[in-house]
Chain A
Amino acid sequence: MIALNQVTKNFAIGPATSFTAVDNVSLTITRGSMTILKGPSGSGKTTLLALIGCMTRPSSGRIMLQGVETSFFQASEAAEGFDSSSLPERFLTEIRRSTFGFIFQQFNLIKGISALQNIMLPAYPTGEQQPVVKQRALGLMEQFDLLRHRNSPVEWLSGGELQRVAIARALINNPIAIIADEPTAHLDSQLSQAFMESIGQLKDNGKTVLIASHDPIVYSSPLADQVVEMRDGRIVRQEPLP
């Protein structure tokens, strides 16, 4: 479970330049659920995802992670959870690698290397054996119907294929949660539906899914367990009500 308690994120703290991107947000995301953050551009969705995914720290408030086991957090303590917002940077690196899988709006795949290498990339810093990682990557390519592109440079792939490579890459370290920021922004309706089907499979497999989107195909999806509407950094509506 991910629990946000009165989380605020200010940028450029100072009397003249301060900007509050996320303002006093409290939210609970249960394990294995799908949560959609919706709202207009600049409403704080991406910042909130970055806070949850340990890519930035809050200015105030706490973010608790429960049911997450790491090398530094012993299993016996797992039930209580730990506060990811207070963790030193060296621990956050491990959380980012092992707990969250990220799917970005622009996919952020690396041109010039193959789809297979792109998928394997997040596993390199973990020190895991290459053949084991490769086997897992090939398994994911098979799951997302990408095997025939295993050796193709990513610039040869279509929009939908790029999207699926990005999903496979997010899953390579077998994370607990998938975080996707506007994943359908560059896709047509058919590919967006296909994306939601893929994400639905991940949810069925027990992954926690968190998506920021203002695409109706995403936030109106019957797969969503919780839809959180944001505006000016605040939660203005939440369905179902907490």
Chain B
Amino acid sequence: MIQHPAILALMTASLIVSGLLLYAGWFGIRILKNWDLASGSELQLNLERRTYLIATIMSYALLFQIISLFLYLYTADGLHILFTGAMCAAGTLQVNSYGYPTLILKLINCLLAGCWLIVNHADTRGYDYPLIKPKYVLLLGLVLLVLAETVLQFNYFLHLKGDMITSCCGSLFGSDKPSIAGELAGLPYRIMRPLFFSTMAVLACCGIRLYLKGTGGYLYAALSASAFLVSLAALISFIGLYYYELPTHHCPFCILQQEYGYIGYLLYATLLGGMVSGSSIGLLMPFRRRPSLAPYLPRLQQRLVLLSLACYLLFTALVSYRMLTANFRLGG
């Protein structure tokens, strides 16, 4: 194993977050089994008091979980110099079979953690713990995924050896490769470019409608998830080409490097922010009519729409600016 400060930080943090989540998960099972707001039993009142502690612990743990995604990417990118063939995080993650699964789980956990934090925030606005059970069901799912992520991450770092030969990103994200990365890189820009901009336009229209009229929450959540996937595909298919100013370089990781001004972190952060806030709107939709949440939830959803739109529009503005100013043109 390579003893790098960032690796040690990630592993320690994963252990702490997993421990906290295990405790919260055990408490969640007690909540799901015993919660009865009509009861005045000592157990019920104890659960009510304890739920604030758990929510506070989880807020910090899950915030770190979100940050750890970026630290993981940053670490993987920084380690590429140790592996023969690696040019960026793409090659480092390819060193063993745990790198990419860990990244995918981190991404999923980051999205779920963001959603949980928003659901938790909504729950604390109601005087009668309106989302307590859905919140802990979601948390139990998250506990399992975070534990799986910790195991995968440990395996990934434990199996890192400095003398390994790996593939470069040009090879992994080559449009002629028979793999998912290759398929994404091979998506024709003539389809992806209009699809990306039209998705953003439809998302903006739906978001404005939801903000003004309060209708179409589920549609916006679905569109938000679609926009996230389309944007990721577009990033690999054609957006990255404008940053690299190379017609054949589709790597989604090189934009995380200093020579591109670390723009990748901003692009991915806006996408994650847009996806989390957008999809949370759909998660909250079934609870809009709960009496204790009815005065508050529509306002929260309005704020989430604004946040989600701001994130996606910032992403669109950033990539559009690059497409207009780069010394590179697709399609002549």
Contact = CB atoms under 8 A, between A and B. Distances in A.
Interface of A: 5-8, 57-62, 72-74, 77, 82-83, 85-91
A85 B49 contact: no
Contacts of B45: 57-60, 85-86
Contact of A88 (B124, B291, B295): B124
B41 A86 contact: no
Contact of A87 (B42, B127, B291, B294): B127
Contacts of A5: 40
B42 A88 contact: no
B291 A86 contact: no
A60 B292 CA distance: 23
A86 B292 contact: no
Contact-residue bracket for chain B: 10 to 19
B127 A60 contact: no
B9 interface: no
Interface string B34-65: 00010011101100110010000000000000
Given A58-B45, A60-B45, A89-B52, 7 more contacts: A61-B40, A74-B295, A85-B40, A86-B48, A86-B128, A88-B127, A88-B129
B42 A60 contact: yes
A90 B124 contact: yes
Nearest to A61: B40
Given A82-B127, A89-B52, A77 B291 contact: yes
Nearest to A71: B295
18 contacts: A6-B40, A7-B40, A57-B49, A58-B40, A60-B40, A72-B127, A72-B292, A72-B295, A73-B127, A74-B294, A74-B295, A82-B128, A85-B40, A86-B37, A86-B45, A86-B48, A87-B127, A89-B52
Contacts of B52: 88-89
Contacts of B40: 5-7, 58, 60-62, 85
Nearest to B294: A74
A73 B296 CA distance: 11
